């Protein structure tokens, strides 16, 4: 007993205390189990071997520190719908102010109005307690992107719905002063709120604790804004405005920004960006990126340089690609958020 | 009203989990399964919606001189984890309903009658504490026993702790106590004792401090926690840039490329 003699009087467990030799043997067994996935020593068949240990190199048993976002399919769809609707409202208002085709203005307003109705429905249905959705209107918090976003959505929805409704009534029953006031006010509101509404979701996920999101906080809003504009233009073109040159230019600009965003992600060497490059989320993001950036950019450029017939088909494919790319991009980012939160190494700064 | 805090001293913790039980009993928190994890004696894994106090088990390899009580014994690290009640709290900043508030005792409290379960606090906590209860729909975490504190009582976990590993008191007093304790442990040869209170990080200090031995990362404590609001400036800058580009781009496009008359 030697060194342990003073403890001998403490009780029975000290008659047979753990000693260094046995502890070391146990550790050897654990290392063996770790290396081979099994232990060969006689009589030892631990269930669930090898035994994990917590350490500065392996973290706390690889249990993720961060919690994953609890959002379901409604949220990526909301990001897509909101982005497209916000950008459509802006494009529609500018088209109106510059005296473009009234049919384009009307269709843009309808996209915005549809988004104004669908967006809140998606948000409410994702809440843990949907019946309490009005609680977000208790406060306005400038430092909470969710709060700013909800109020932006409220302003946008009201404006976009009013503009579309007034336009519809005017077309049906003829112009009148109240309708004109409503239409102009609604359009102005949908323009003012549509600008932040088309990209704030980038701020929403950028300013969080999820490593892959906050590592991109400075470019997500531009990325999402371009994605929204791309989707809005694509939808308008698919609604029959496939000859409009201004839409072509906006679509091309958005696709070029998306190319740049993709290049930015691919060129940055940062372990926190792994979910954007590997696995399901990486594949999704790359597919979404290709459909949002290079594919429509090339198709649009080609459509401007070829014959009329081919041009129309190329442009239609560019529109389809842009819309699909935008939806896929939002799904990829939310999926990457899950993967990033599960990566226990990131917040512990373990390479 | 004094600002209060927890000081959890892992060198005194015996891993009995009385704090977990007391917390669940007082707060009526549901049980969270009876699954064996295989991770030492830790079967809860982490704090979450149904675990507001959580004892972590960190086993050390036998190393002469490292044992707490006898040089030949290997030492175990137990540390009772809890919501950090940050000075700059990510969840509180993010909450869009104003459900999450700072109490008069300095703690961060989710008002359960207001939370609508949006889940934004979940991704805004740099310590992964807040979690949405899938059955209930709302987010939950340690309340700092706001009800008990209101009645002048000590939080349930601190009250139940049999070794006073969990200390509760005024924050200034506990900070002084923590520094004294670390110095004392160092004098006694435990030179790896550290105080973890996230001071000097974006979180700006916590109302739940921890005395640990060794690297806090073995206890799943991040070396540099950051309140997510630090990303707001660059994110909104990018948002303004995106909005500006959309506005000017659309204006330019419609002004310079009017529709061809057919």
Per CB-CB distance under 8 Å, the chain A contacts of B119 are: 69-71, 126, 128
Do the domain assignments include residue A312?
Answer: yes
pLDDT (average), residues B232-254: 98
Residue A327 covered by a domain:
yes
Rounded-to-integer distance, Cα A262 and Cα A267, Å: 8
Query: For residue B160, is pLDDT > 60?
Result: yes
- State the Cα–Cα distance between residues B204 and A301, nearest whole angstrom: 52
pLDDT at A54: 87
Does the residue B250 lie in any domain? no
For residue A69, tell me if it sits in a domain. no
Higher confidence at residue B96 or residue A14?
A: B96
Closest residue in B to A242 (Cα–Cα): B259
Helix (H, G, I), strand (E, B) or coil at A283: helix
Q: What is the pLDDT of residue B69?
A: 58
* Phi/psi at B169 (5° precision): 175, -165
Could you tell me the residue range of the domain that residue A123 belongs to?
A: 85-197
Residue B36: its pLDDT value, please?
A: 77
What angle is formed at CA B111 by the lines to CA B107 and CA B116, rounded to 5 degrees? 135
Residues A160 and A115 sit within 8 Å (Cβ to Cβ): yes
* Judgement on whether residues A176 and A283 belong to the same structural domain of the protein: no
Closest CA–CA distance from residue B33 to any residue of chain A (Å): 17
Contacts of A199 in chain B (CB under 8 A): 238-239, 242-243
Mark whether A231 and A331 lie in a shared domain.
Answer: yes
- Assess if residue B179 is contained within a domain: yes
Q: How close A173 gets to chain B, by Cα (Å)?
A: 28
Structure tokens at A8: 């001998």
Interface check for A349 against chain B (CB to CB < 8 A): the answer is: yes
Q: How confident is the model at residue B65 (pLDDT cuts 50, 70, 90)?
A: low
For residue B241, is it within any domain?
A: no
Contact B242 A224 (CB under 8 A): yes
Which of B10, B78, B253, B257 to substitute to test the interface with A, most A CBs within 10 Å? B253
Q: Is the link from the previous residue into A50 a cis peptide, with omega within 30 of 0?
A: yes
pLDDT attached to residue A157: 97
Judge contact between A196 and A224, C-beta under 8 A.
no
CB contact under 8 A, A3 and B118: no
The verdict on a CB contact (< 8 Å) between A4 and B136 is no
Q: What is the mean pLDDT of residues B222-244?
A: 97
Question: What pLDDT was estimated at residue B39?
Answer: 83
Q: What tens-digit pLDDT sequence spans chain A (351 residues)?
A: 334 433 333 344 455 555 677 778 778 888 887 888 766 665 444 545 556 788 888 899 999 999 999 999 999 999 999 999 999 999 999 999 999 899 999 999 999 999 999 999 999 999 999 999 999 999 999 999 999 999 999 999 999 999 999 999 999 999 999 999 999 999 999 999 999 999 999 999 999 999 999 999 999 999 999 999 999 999 999 999 999 999 999 999 999 999 999 999 999 989 899 999 999 999 999 999 999 999 999 999 999 998 888 899 999 999 999 999 999 999 999 999 999 999 999 999 998
Q: Are A194 and A86 in contact (CB under 8 A)?
A: yes
- Interface contact B117-A127, CB threshold 8 A: yes
Report the b/e string of B105-132 with b at 16+ CB within 10 A: bbbbbbeeebbbbbbbbbbbbbbbbbbb
Looking at residue B79, its pLDDT comes to 94
**Which of A204, A261, A196 is closest to A227 using CA atoms?**
A261
Cβ contact, residue pair B128, A67, below 8 Å: yes
Whether residues A254 and A171 share a domain: the answer is no
Asked if residue A336 and residue A231 are part of one domain, the reply reads yes
Helix axes A294-305, A308-342, angle to 10 degrees: 170
> Nearest Cα to B168, choosing from B106, B95, B235?
B106
Q: Which two tokens stand for residue A215?
A: 């590592």
Size of interface A-B (CB pairs under 8 A): 305
Q: What is the mean pLDDT of residues B113-128?
A: 97
Residue B173: count other Cβ atoms within 10 Å of its Cβ. Answer: 14
For residue A80, what are the β-bridge partners? none
The whole-number pLDDT of residue A29 equals 80
Last-in-domain residue among A162, A197, A232:
A197
| H helix runs in B35-167, sequence order | 90-94, 120-124, 146-150, 156-160
A96 and A23, same structural domain?
Answer: no
Supply the range of the domain harboring residue B194: 4-229
Task: Give chain A's domain count.
Answer: 3
ipTM of model? 0.94
SS3 (DSSP) at B141 = coil
d(CA B239, CA A79): 14
Residues A9 and A106 in one domain: no
CA distance A65 to chain B (A): 6
Q: Is residue B31 part of a domain?
A: yes
**Is A84 in the B-facing interface, judged by CB distances under 8 Å?**
no
Residue A148 and residue A159 in one domain: yes
Q: Is residue A132 part of a domain?
A: yes
Based on the domain organization, do A158 and A212 belong to the same domain? no
Considering the domain architecture, whether residues A177 and A300 belong to the same structural domain is answered as no
Q: Is B166 among the domain residues? A: yes
Q: Which of B137, B222, B250 sits opposite A250 (nearest CB)?
A: B250
Residue A41 lies in a domain: no
- Domain count of the fold of chain B: 1
pLDDT at position B66: 61
A204 and A269 assigned to the same domain: yes
Domain membership of residue B105 (yes or no) is yes
> Which pLDDT belongs to residue B152?
95
Q: Is residue A43 part of a domain?
A: no
Q: Do B119 and A4 touch (CB under 8 A)?
A: no
Closest C-alpha to A276, from A219, A201, A213, A230? A213
Q: Which of B46, B119, B132 sits opposite A63 (nearest CB)?
A: B46
Please report whether residue A131 resides in a domain: yes
Q: Are A211 and A346 in contact (CB under 8 A)?
A: yes
CATH of residue B222's domain is 3.30.70.20
pLDDT bucket at B95, cuts 50 / 70 / 90: very high
The pLDDT of residue A86 is 98
pLDDT at A26: 79
| pLDDT of res. A288 | 97
Each residue's pLDDT tens digit, B105-115:
999 999 999 99
- Mean of all residue pLDDT scores within chain B: 92
3-class secondary-structure state, position B51: strand
Q: Are residues A32 and A134 both part of a single domain?
A: no
What is the model's pLDDT at position B74?
A: 62
pTM of the model: 0.90
């Amino acid at each position: 007993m030697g060194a342990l003699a003073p403890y001998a009087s403490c009780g029975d467990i000290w008659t047979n205390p753990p000693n260094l030799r046995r502890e070391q043997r146990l550790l050897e067994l654990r290392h063996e189990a770790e290396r081979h996935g099994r232990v060969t020593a006689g009589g030892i068949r631990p269930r669930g071997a090898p035994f994990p240990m917590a350490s500065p190199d392996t973290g706390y048993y690889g249990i993720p520190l961060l919690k994953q976002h609890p959002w379901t399919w409604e949220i990526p769809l909301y990001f897509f719908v909101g982005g497209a609707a916000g950008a459509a409202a802006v494009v529609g208002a500018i088209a109106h102010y510059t005296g473009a085709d009234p049919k384009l203005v009307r269709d843009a307003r309808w996209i915005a109005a549809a988004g104004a109705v669908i967006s809140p429905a998606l948000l409410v249905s994702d809440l843990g307690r949907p019946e309490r959705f009005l609680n977000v209107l208790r406060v306005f918090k400038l430092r909470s992107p969710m709060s700013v976003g909800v109020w932006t959505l409220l302003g946008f929805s009201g404006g976009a719905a009013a503009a579309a409704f007034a336009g519809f009534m005017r077309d049906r029953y003829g112009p009148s002063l109240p309708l004109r006031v409503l239409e102009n006010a609604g359009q102005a509101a949908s323009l003012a709120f549509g600008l932040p509404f088309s990209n704030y979701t980038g701020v929403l996920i950028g300013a969080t604790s999820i490593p892959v999101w906050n590592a991109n906080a400075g470019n997500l809003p531009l990325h999402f804004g371009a994605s929204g504009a791309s989707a809005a233009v694509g939808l308008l073109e698919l609604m029959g405005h496939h000859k409009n040159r201004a839409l072509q230019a906006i679509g091309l600009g958005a696709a070029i920004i998306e190319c740049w965003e993709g290049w930015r992600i691919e060129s940055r060497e940062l372990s926190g960006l792994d979910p954007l490059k590997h696995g399901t989320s990486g594949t999704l993001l790359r597919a979404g990126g290709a459909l949002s950036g290079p594919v429509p950019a090339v198709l649009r450029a080609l459509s401007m340089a070829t014959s009329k017939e081919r041009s129309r088909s190329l442009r239609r494919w560019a529109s389809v690609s842009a819309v699909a790319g935008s939806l896929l991009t939002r799904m990829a980012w939310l999926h990457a958020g899950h993967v990033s939160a599960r990566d226990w190494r990131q917040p512990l700064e373990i390479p | 009203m004094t600002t209060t805090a927890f000081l959890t001293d892992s060198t005194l913790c015996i891993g009995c989990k009385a704090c977990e039980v007391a917390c669940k009993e007082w707060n009526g928190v549901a049980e969270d399964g009876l699954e064996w994890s295989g991770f030492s004696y830790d079967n809860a894994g982490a704090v979450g919606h149904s675990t507001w106090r959580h004892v972590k088990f960190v086993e050390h390899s036998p190393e002469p001189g490292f044992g707490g009580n006898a040089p030949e014994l290997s030492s175990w690290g137990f540390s009772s984890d809890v919501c950090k009640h940050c000075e700059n709290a990510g969840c509180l900043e993010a909450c869009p309903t104003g459900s999450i508030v700072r109490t008069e005792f300095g703690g961060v409290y989710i008002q359960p009658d207001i939370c609508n379960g949006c889940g934004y606090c979940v991704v805004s906590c740099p310590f992964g504490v807040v979690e949405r209860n899938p059955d209930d729909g709302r987010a939950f975490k340690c309340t700092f026993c706001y009800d008990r504190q209101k009645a002048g009582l000590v939080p349930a976990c601190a009250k139940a702790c049999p070794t006073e590993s969990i200390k509760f008191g005024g924050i200034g007093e506990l900070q002084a106590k923590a520094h004294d304790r670390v110095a004392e442990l160092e004098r006694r040869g435990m030179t790896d004792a550290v105080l973890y209170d996230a001071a000097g990080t974006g979180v700006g200090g916590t109302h739940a401090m921890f005395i640990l031995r060794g690297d806090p990362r073995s206890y799943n404590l991040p070396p540099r926690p950051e309140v997510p609001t630090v990303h707001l400036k660059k994110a909104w800058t990018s948002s303004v840039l995106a909005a500006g580009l959309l506005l000017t781009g659309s204006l330019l496009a419609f002004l310079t490329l009017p529709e061809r008359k057919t």
